[in-house]
Structure formats: C-alpha cells, structure tokens
Amino acid sequence: MAPQTSTKTTAAAAAAGSWQTSFWKFAPGSSFINSIFCPCILYGQTNDRLHASDKVDAKDKDKQSNGCVPFAIFQIAVPNGGFYHLMQQRREIRARYNIAGNAAVDCLASFFCMCCVQVQADEEVKLREAAAAAANKAGPVSEGYKASEAMSVTTTATATEGEAKKEETKEVKKPEDKKEETKEVKKPEEKEEVKKEAEKEEAEEKEKAEEKK
C-alpha cells in the first residue's frame, strides 16, 4: 500500500502549480508599504480580494469580517502574533489556486518574513483574480458550428436527390423529346391520308378506264 500512496502524492505534486509572484519582491508599491506600516489593513484587503468572487448571500456577506481587526489584536497582544493569520491565509491561497507547498514552509515564512508573505499573497491574488475576470469576460472560444456526421450524410443525400430531380425535369423539358412525341402522335393520321390518296388514285384510274370503253 505504501508505494500507491507515494505515487499519489507525487502525481498531486506534479499536477500542482507554482507561485506567479516572487517571494522576494521589495519593489515600492502599495502592497509593500502596507506590509510594513499597516499589515492588518493589507491582510484584510487580501482577504477581500480572495473572497470577492465567492457566492455568498448579501446578509451573510455583511456579517463576514475580512480579518483585519483580529489580525491587529493578535499582532499587538503577542509579539509577531499575526503570523498565524498569515499562515492560514497563505494555505488558503495555495489550496484555491493549486500551488505547490506545505504547512511547514507556510509557518516558517509567515513567522520570519511577514512582509514577504503579505506582499506575495496580495500580488498573487491580484494576478489570479484579474486573469479569472478576463477569462470570464472573454467567454468560451467559439469554434463555429460543426455539423454531426449524421446531419452531413442527410444533407448530402438531400443534395443528391435535389440534383437528380433537377436532371429529370431537364430531361422532360427537352424540345427534341417534345418534337419526337408529336411526330409519333401524327403517324396514324399520315397513314390515313396515304390510304385516302391511294383510294382516290384507284377511283380516278377506274373512271379513266370506263371513259376509254
């Protein structure tokens, strides 16, 4: 059973992603300044961004706290006491965005370098949520309508039937065929006329023979 658990853990680690922002980001900005002078405010802002897309009822959302006040109380009451809140926030960010890591690294980083953890967490949530919002606006990629094989077969069959009908109508409407039909219809009349002419000739010959007598 042990090999199976090890393969599962390695597969999960391979599937997990990585942080998109650096842990050692000391560039001057709102996140960096707040992490030094107002860490409780930055903690609350990061929580607000992290849970902005959560589907919560309006009543429950009003009752929710972004954790700014508890963080400040712990930080003032106990030296560096706010590290526990940062550790939990870091773990939540990793779980939400499928980022590789472990609880030990989260604990040590939050305790010894609170500023770095706060800046990385805030910048990471900004990037991830901005990318998610852009993807939602863009919507799914439309590949156009693709007809199924059955529909394509039926369409081709109907097309061939239509072409066959057109050819039949063309054959019926040929002028040569109509002339031949009229000729065939007129053949018995021509025979009768020929008979009448032959009878007339015989009658004339008989009359001439009687006159000579």
Q: Tell me the percentage of the chain whose pLDDT exceeds 90.
A: 26
Q: Clarify whether residues 106 and 28 are in a common domain.
A: yes
Question: What amino acid is encoded at 71 in this protein?
Answer: F
Q: Clarify whether residues 40 and 108 are in a common domain.
A: yes
Q: Clarify whether residues 54 and 108 are in a common domain.
A: yes
Q: Clarify whether residues 73 and 127 are in a common domain.
A: yes
Q: Clarify whether residues 120 and 191 are in a common domain.
A: no
Q: Is residue 144 part of a domain?
A: no
Tens digits of residue pLDDT in 187-213: 666 777 878 888 888 888 888 777 776
CA–CA separation, 2 and 14 (whole Å): 18
| Residue finishing a domain among 116, 137, 158 | 137
Q: Tell me the percentage of the chain whose pLDDT exceeds 70.
A: 62
Q: Over the range 182-206, which residues count as b (16 or more CB within 10 Å of their CB) and which as e?
A: eeeeeeeeeeeeeeeeeeeeeeeee
Q: Clarify whether residues 127 and 184 are in a common domain.
A: no
Q: Is residue 57 part of a domain?
A: yes
CA–CA separation, 197 and 204 (whole Å): 11
Q: Is residue 168 part of a domain?
A: no
Is the confidence at residue 107, as pLDDT, over 80? yes
**Which structural domain range is residue 212 located in?**
177-213
CA–CA separation, 127 and 109 (whole Å): 21
Q: Is residue 161 part of a domain?
A: no
Q: Report, as an integer, the average pLDDT of 177-181.
A: 54
Q: Clarify whether residues 28 and 114 are in a common domain.
A: yes
Q: Clarify whether residues 97 and 185 are in a common domain.
A: no
Indicate the number of domains in the chain: 2
| Residue finishing a domain among 119, 137, 155 | 137
Give backbone dihedrals phi and psi of 99, rounded to 5 degrees, phi first: -105, 135
Q: Clarify whether residues 131 and 187 are in a common domain.
A: no
Tens digits of residue pLDDT in 27-58: 667 788 888 888 999 999 999 988 887 765 54
Q: Clarify whether residues 132 and 181 are in a common domain.
A: no
